[in-house]
Chains A and B, each alone.
Chain A
Amino acid sequence: MRHIISILMENEAGALSRVAGLFSARGYNIESLCVAPTVDETLSRMTLVTRGDEQIIEQIIKQLNKLIDVVKVQDMADAPHIERELMLIKVQALDNSRNEVYRLAEIFRGQIIDVSESSYTIQMVGPGHKLDAFLNALGAIPVVEIVRSGALGIARGPRGMAVPEA
């Protein structure tokens, strides 16, 4: 099963490689990985998408917690949450497909952020499956380039992911 795992870790050199190294050393797969500083500049927030059965996910969470730099780990699947991913996609838009691409982007609530004589670049945000659906909808229209951020996740409700009390 697919899991989104959120990690708060010390914002120190090499922190990212500790996580990436753990996954490769133990043979877990990483579907996507996003990392950036948080409001608290001493912390980085990492969002990682992986797949595995219950036992593997449990091991992943335990192994992540075992890393000294990791402050907190949360499996988003444990509670209601929102998932978003950003996609930038450059699509061929010639005479006959130009209107079609425009219309599809509208339907999927994408924004056209760059235009050339032969292409549109569209920005689209949503859960991964919505972005996949858009790609399907394009059908035979040639895609020049795709950049995807990987998924981000945040829990629903008023509570935030915070540093545990010592």
Chain B
Amino acid sequence: MELSGGQILVECLKAEGVDVVFGYPGGAVLHIYDALFQQEQVKHVLVRHEQGAVHMADGYARATGKPGVVLVTSGPGATNAVTGIATAHMDSIPLIVITGQVPTTLIGNDAFQEVDNVGITRPCVKHNFLVKDVRDIAITMKKAFYIATTGRPGPVVVDIPKDVTDPRVMIPFDYPASVSLRSYHPTVKGHTGQIRKAIDLIINAERPIIYSGGGVILGGASSQLTRFARLLNYPITNTLMGLGAYPASDRQFLGMLGMHGTYEANMGMHHCDVLIAIGARFDDRVTGNLAKFCPTAKIVHIDIDPASISKNVVVDVPIVGSIKSVLEDMLPLIEEAGGAKQPEALTAWWAQIAQWRDMRCLDFKTNGDVIKPQYVVQKVWEITQGDAYVTSDVGQHQMWAAQYYGFDKPNRWINSGGLGTMGFGLPAALGVKFAYPDEEVVCVTGEGSIQMCIQELSTALQYHLPVKVVSLNNRYLGMVRQWQEFFYSGRYAMSYMEALPDFVKLAESYGHVGMRIEKASDVEGALREAFAMRDRLVFMDFQTDPTENVYPMVPAGAGLNEMILV
């Protein structure tokens, strides 16, 4: 069978089991769009801005564990996608981003809608390709999917010049069954000797803590992690990216750690004698001041990426491998050893943790009928029975969602942790809803973030993606305002939005339902009403307390034991 480059590309997507592409057409990708148009298996979601396309594919990937696929044109199409690509890169999300390019004969000529896309995206992809020959499309796509989804996952950009997909050039198509690269062999199996060393340290710990991150979710190792923690009866904390990998409602769970982590999680980190880091990367928002980080701990670190090990914090027992494989190797060894060896010390440690918990660091003060943002998130949790897919944008509302929506399952909490991309939440929610039309999908956002990708409300209507938007509208860029209050003597430089749209009318003009909620006593009723509208996108504009801050907080430069509680 002879096919054109555009047809080959579509056949590659089919062969990889791709059911949807998020994209936006343009000159350089017209041949590809023409090929997409003439088949039905691979669906296409037309976005309103390329950044939205990448975030949608990203949300889809985070919820399903499958790679997300994006198709955009050359030049501005590609540069608009860069923020989304960098977002996925920082959080290790597998994406295939196909970008059009000007014809090979014009590359380097400053042609219309030309950018050096391979050059621009190089620092924010796992890998990228420029395909200069139609005969290379199939093998390149095979490599792209392989690289994006194995090892530490990440986005792969495939840049395709227009002449490479020319419908007049037909060649035989054969999709390779497998691919191997001599320069790329991700380690899966952990080193047996290192595992034994780690087990010895782990079972003999007196004040242990498990610190697990997004790697557990990416590696599909949530059930192994849960068994591991329960077998040992050790306390566990999750990073922002790792929430849901261990059930939040479990008694061993201490909550999130880090800058806005719980008192018990951060104090547990600071005072532990053995730190078991699993699929986490010792990010600066987690560690606080490195010089004061876990001063008495021996550290075991399990990660699939050797470059994550001893990057920020030098560890005692590194294990490179997939989290699932390493934990599966560890579980029988712990069972053979009869579990943890220091029951008395562990009892004392749990007693200490109970005291820290008694500080009730997430309690917040109510103020008459003023809507507290934390209360809104708590109610969303109640009404969705803690089982919704929750995406967020970036800022205070993100932290409140992370703190007050207890995730019991993995892949349910979807946010831009590494890059901190405002505008992520709504398109990500649409991507999730596309994958799981029967599930409840909520985007927790603020009036600042939502305006960065608000045009995707239009996409939501076209493809009938009835997500629920919970906007915590405090009229301020809240996290900026909070830092200005704490560290800039209340000089609120450019953090107040004086002119905001009427979000109710805005939602309505996009064909959705808008609600404005001004009193705490109306919150629950409004939420129930909104969630009862299963088939409609409902935009809820909650007028929240403008001066509420996120607590607890570890100020920049402080150790994890030096928290501001309220």
Chains A and B form a bound pair: yes
Binding site for B on A (CB under 8 A): 9-10, 13-14, 17-18, 21, 25, 55, 58-59, 62-63, 65-66, 68-71, 163-164, 166
List residues of B (282-337) whose CB comes within 8 Å of A's CBs. 305-307, 309-311, 314
Q: Are A166 and B185 neighbours in the complex by a CB distance under 8 Å?
A: yes
Once the chains are docked, how many angstroms separate the CA of A119 from the CA of B181?
52
The minimal Cβ–Cβ distance linking B418 to chain A, given in whole angstroms, is: 15
Which of B119-127, B168-176, B225-233 makes up part of the contact surface? Answer: B119-127
**Pick the contact of B183 from A58, A63, A70 — CB < 8 Å?**
A70
Q: Are B122 and A17 neighbours in the complex by a CB distance under 8 Å?
A: yes
Q: What chain B residues lie within 8 Å of A17 (beta carbons)?
A: 119, 122
Contact with A along B180-193 (1 / 0, CB 8 A): 11111100000000
Binding site for A on B (CB under 8 A): 118-119, 122-123, 126-127, 130, 147, 180-185, 305-307, 309-311, 314
Q: Are B126 and A68 neighbours in the complex by a CB distance under 8 Å?
A: yes
**Pick the contact of B307 from A55, A62, A68 — CB < 8 Å?**
A62
Q: Are B147 and A68 neighbours in the complex by a CB distance under 8 Å?
A: yes
Question: Quick one: given A13-B130, A55-B310, A55-B314, are A21 and B183 in contact (CB under 8 Å)?
Answer: no
B122, B183, B184, B310 — most chain A CB neighbours (10 Å): B183
Q: What chain A residues lie within 8 Å of B118 (beta carbons)?
A: 14
Question: Quick one: given A14-B118, A58-B310, are A68 and B127 in contact (CB under 8 Å)?
Answer: yes
Q: What chain B residues lie within 8 Å of A62 (beta carbons)?
A: 306-307, 309
Once the chains are docked, how many angstroms separate the CA of A49 from the CA of B447?
50
Q: What chain A residues lie within 8 Å of B119 (beta carbons)?
A: 14, 17
Q: Are B183 and A71 neighbours in the complex by a CB distance under 8 Å?
A: yes
Q: What chain A residues lie within 8 Å of B181 (beta carbons)?
A: 68
The minimal Cβ–Cβ distance linking B539 to chain A, given in whole angstroms, is: 39
B119: nearest chain-A partner, CB-CB: A17
Q: Are B183 and A68 neighbours in the complex by a CB distance under 8 Å?
A: yes
Once the chains are docked, how many angstroms separate the CA of A65 from the CA of B147?
14
Q: What chain B residues lie within 8 Å of A164 (beta carbons)?
A: 182
The minimal Cβ–Cβ distance linking B125 to chain A, given in whole angstroms, is: 10
Once the chains are docked, how many angstroms separate the CA of A6 from the CA of B15?
39
The minimal Cβ–Cβ distance linking A126 to chain B, given in whole angstroms, is: 33
Q: Are A163 and B182 neighbours in the complex by a CB distance under 8 Å?
A: yes
Q: Are A25 and B183 neighbours in the complex by a CB distance under 8 Å?
A: no
Q: List 22 A-B contacts (CB under 8 A).
A: A9-B183, A10-B183, A13-B130, A14-B119, A14-B122, A25-B123, A58-B310, A59-B307, A63-B307, A65-B307, A66-B307, A68-B127, A68-B181, A68-B183, A68-B184, A69-B127, A69-B183, A70-B183, A71-B183, A166-B180, A166-B182, A166-B185
**Pick the contact of B123 from A9, A21, A163 — CB < 8 Å?**
A21
Q: What chain A residues lie within 8 Å of B311 (beta carbons)?
A: 59
A68, A69, A164, A166 — most chain B CB neighbours (10 Å): A68
The minimal Cβ–Cβ distance linking A128 to chain B, given in whole angstroms, is: 29
Q: What chain A residues lie within 8 Å of B183 (beta carbons)?
A: 9-10, 68-71
Once the chains are docked, how many angstroms separate the CA of A58 from the CA of B127?
22
Q: What chain A residues lie within 8 Å of B122 (beta carbons)?
A: 14, 17-18, 21
Once the chains are docked, how many angstroms separate the CA of A71 from the CA of B185?
10
Q: What chain A residues lie within 8 Å of B126 (beta carbons)?
A: 68
Once the chains are docked, how many angstroms separate the CA of A25 from the CA of B121?
13
Once the chains are docked, how many angstroms separate the CA of A14 from the CA of B470?
45
B143: nearest chain-A partner, CB-CB: A68
Q: What chain B residues lie within 8 Å of A14 (beta carbons)?
A: 118-119, 122, 130
Once the chains are docked, how many angstroms separate the CA of A34 from the CA of B418?
34
Once the chains are docked, how many angstroms separate the CA of A55 from the CA of B182?
27
Task: Enumerate the 3 nearest inter-chain pairs by beta-carbon distance, A residue then B residue, closest first.
Answer: A62-B307, A68-B127, A71-B183
The minimal Cβ–Cβ distance linking A1 to chain B, given in whole angstroms, is: 17
Q: What chain B residues lie within 8 Å of A25 (beta carbons)?
A: 123
The minimal Cβ–Cβ distance linking A40 to chain B, given in whole angstroms, is: 11
